[in-house]
């Protein structure tokens, strides 16, 4: 440039100023275009007024730009910019493409619509994920989705309560009921057409100590008229939703490997069992003396699917509360919800062969409930027989030792012989 600078210097010295002016103007013009058409017009007017006397208008002049061969180029540029901007906004779901999200941002409109059979007029309200003052309960939060027709779906994040005499037992009433099937894939969770729960995988939040329950998302979608028919379509919706909640929570903690859609691997829901006299709840060898007893109990429902964290046998269920439940909590992380209760539930149950420093576990017997928490190779396992009231004290007492012994054998935790208090 310096070699050419000298000879041309004088010739274009007038133009030099003009060029530098031009450049400023161009810069202004560019800014103006990006701001809006009005600004371009104002700027253009000023320029045209100024340079009316000058012979040909410079190429960047707005009049020249809006006609002749520059016009298509300008139009293309504007259209391109608009398209690009729109595309970016759409991708980023910003501006007019912003979507409403519900339940801590986990559900987009499609997720919510999926839960409500395609209806999109759903209102949501929520309590954000928060901790108590000393973070002793773990994070918790709640969310409610409400349709104008009065349909309601609730979601909750909480650590399963393992303290104070079995608050978890109430949760277990509904969320471990025999209508639930395991979510599978090695994940700790279950789902039915009205309830779903799923623990946040340990790979993301770490393993809890044995004094803390697992951190779970659970969902409730009301009640059905109780029978053994589980609507698999509804169940798939809840399963997808609860997995979405957990995946969103994990993503927020930097765990970028989501749980895949579990619906394909869900087992068939449980159906009422034709109970044999010597196989109550399908447990071979478990029987109750007396002829009329079979008719007194309604037909039982037993947890379906393989590798379930619990095996529950419910009968005569009214609003989630079974009149009689026989349950084995096989997953040690879940059995924790009965750990507190096992220490102080009632008169003590011990196991045969216990010595001073080595015991098989601990348990209790009450009129309405018998429980034994055994230490197995897999960890703690809960065996539980529970009636809705004290009216079946004799049955509870008869069932518990036999049920625990047979179930312990099934799990490879036998022999387990319980000693009941007199």
Partner 1 sequence: MTGESPGDAPGGTQRLARVRGLVRTGRGAAAGGLVLALLASGAGTWATDTWPFDGRDRYCWGAWEQDSGPGILGDEAFGGDDGRSRTATGSAPTADTRRGECRLTVSSHDRYGDGDEKRQRTTVTVKYGPAPASVGDRVGWLGGYLGDRAMPLPDGLPGVADGHHGLLVLPKRCDTRDGRPTAVTLDAREQAEADAVLARVPDLGGSRAVAELLVAAANKGMESAGCAGAEPLLVSGPVPTLPERAETFARGGACRIPGLDIEGDLDKETALRVQYQVGAVNDELQSCSVRIGRSLRLGERSDQQLFDAVMVREPRLTALLDGADDGRASGRPPGGTLGKGWRGTGVSGKGYALVRAGCAGRPTAFLTFGTSTGSADEYFATFSNAVARRLGCAPVAPGADDRGSGR
Which candidate, 241, 237, 202, 263, places its Cα nearest to that of 104? 241
Residues 6+ apart with CB under 8 A from 94: 88
Q: Does 80 bind partner 1 (CB under 8 A)?
A: yes
* Among 138, 168, 182, 201, contact with partner 1 (rule: CB under 8 A): 201
Q: Whose Cβ is closer to partner 1: residue 1's or residue 52's?
A: 1
In the block, which residue shows the tokens 């220490």?
343
Q: Does 78 bind partner 1 (CB under 8 A)?
A: no
**211: part of which helix (H) or strand (E)?**
none
Q: Does 186 bind partner 1 (CB under 8 A)?
A: yes
Q: Whose Cβ is closer to partner 1: residue 258's or residue 391's?
A: 258
Least distance in angstroms from the C-beta of 69 to partner 1: 7
Residue 267: DSSP 8-state: P
Cα–Cα distance measured from residue 313 to residue 336, given in angstroms and rounded to the nearest whole number: 19
Q: Whose Cβ is closer to partner 1: residue 9's or residue 233's?
A: 9
* Among 30, 35, 46, 73, contact with partner 1 (rule: CB under 8 A): 73
- Pick out residues in 350-389 that bind partner 1 (CB under 8 A): 353, 358-360, 375-379
Q: Does 250 bind partner 1 (CB under 8 A)?
A: yes
Least distance in angstroms from the C-beta of 293 to partner 1: 30
Q: Within 10 A of 379 (CB to CB), how many other CB atoms are there? A: 14
Least distance in angstroms from the C-beta of 33 to partner 1: 13
Least distance in angstroms from the C-beta of 96 to partner 1: 18
Binding mask 90-129 for partner 1 (x = CB under 8 A): -x--------------------------------------
**278: part of which helix (H) or strand (E)?**
none
Residue 96: DSSP 8-state: G
Residues contacting partner 1: total by CB under 8 A: 57
* First-last CA distance in the chain: 109
Q: Does 203 bind partner 1 (CB under 8 A)?
A: yes
Q: Whose Cβ is closer to partner 1: residue 118's or residue 206's?
A: 206
Token code pair at residue 112:
């919510």
Token code pair at residue 7:
């000879």
Residues 6+ apart with CB under 8 A from 269: 179, 181, 192, 228, 229, 230, 232, 235, 304
Token code pair at residue 49:
């007024």
Beta-bridge partner residues of 322: 317
Stretch of 32-40, 106-114, 185-193, 288-296 lying at the interface with partner 1 (CB under 8 A): 185-193
For 91-100, b where at least 16 C-beta lie within 10 A, e where not — what string? eeeeeeeeee
Least distance in angstroms from the C-beta of 353 to partner 1: 6
Cα–Cα distance measured from residue 39 to residue 27, given in angstroms and rounded to the nearest whole number: 13
Q: Within 10 A of 24 (CB to CB), how many other CB atoms are there? A: 10
Q: Whose Cβ is closer to partner 1: residue 45's or residue 73's?
A: 73
Which candidate, 386, 422, 382, places its Cα nearest to that of 404? 382
Q: Does 35 bind partner 1 (CB under 8 A)?
A: no
Q: Does 288 bind partner 1 (CB under 8 A)?
A: no
Would you tell me which residues interact with partner 1 (CB under 8 A)? 1, 4-5, 8-9, 12, 15-16, 19-20, 22-24, 59, 69-70, 72-73, 76-77, 80-81, 84, 88, 91, 185-188, 201-204, 206-207, 209, 250, 255-260, 353, 358-360, 375-379, 411-415
């Amino acid at each position: 440039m310096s070699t050419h600078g000298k000879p041309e210097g004088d010739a274009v010295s007038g133009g030099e100023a003009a060029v530098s002016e031009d450049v400023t103007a161009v810069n202004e013009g560019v800014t103006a275009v990006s701001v809006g058409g009005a600004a371009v017009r104002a700027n253009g007017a000023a320029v045209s007024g100024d340079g009316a006397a000058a012979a040909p208008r410079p190429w960047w002049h707005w009049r020249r730009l809006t006609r002749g061969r520059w016009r298509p180029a300008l139009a293309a540029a504007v259209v391109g910019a608009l398209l690009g901007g729109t595309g970016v906004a759409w991708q980023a779901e910003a501006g007019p493409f912003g979507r409403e999200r519900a339940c801590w941002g986990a559900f987009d409109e499609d997720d919510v619509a999926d839960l409500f059979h395609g209806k999109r007029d759903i209102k949501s309200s929520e309590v954000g994920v928060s901790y108590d003052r000393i973070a002793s309960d773990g994070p918790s939060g709640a969310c409610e989705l409400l349709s104008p027709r009065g349909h309601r779906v609730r979601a909750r994040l909480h650590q399963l309560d393992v303290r104070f005499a079995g608050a978890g037992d109430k949760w277990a009433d509904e969320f471990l009921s025999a209508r639930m099937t395991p979510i599978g894939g090695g994940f700790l969770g279950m789902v039915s057409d009205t309830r779903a729960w799923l623990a946040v995988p340990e790979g993301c939040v770490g393993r809890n100590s044995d004094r803390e329950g697992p951190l779970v998302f659970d969902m409730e979608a009301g009640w059905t008229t109780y029978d053994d028919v589980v609507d698999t379509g509804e169940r798939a919706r809840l399963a997808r939703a609860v997995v979405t909640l957990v995946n969103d929570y994990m993503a927020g903690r930097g765990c970028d490997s989501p749980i895949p859609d579990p619906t394909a691997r869900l087992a068939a829901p449980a159906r009422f069992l034709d109970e044999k006299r010597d196989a109550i709840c399908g447990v071979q060898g478990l029987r109750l003396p007396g002829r009329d007893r079979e008719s007194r109990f309604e037909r039982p429902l037993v947890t379906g699917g393989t590798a379930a964290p619990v095996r529950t046998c419910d009968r005569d269920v009214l609003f989630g509360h079974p009149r009689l439940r026989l349950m084995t909590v096989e997953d040690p992380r879940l059995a924790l919800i009965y750990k507190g209760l096992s220490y102080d539930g009632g008169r003590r149950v011990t196991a045969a062969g216990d010595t001073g420093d080595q015991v098989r576990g601990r348990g209790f017997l009450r009129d309405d409930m018998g429980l034994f928490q055994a230490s197995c190779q897999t960890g703690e396992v809960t065996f539980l027989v529970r009636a809705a009231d004290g009216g079946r004290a004799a049955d509870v007492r008869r069932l518990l030792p036999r049920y625990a012994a047979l179930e312990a054998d099934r799990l490879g935790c036998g022999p387990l012989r319980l000693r009941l208090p007199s």
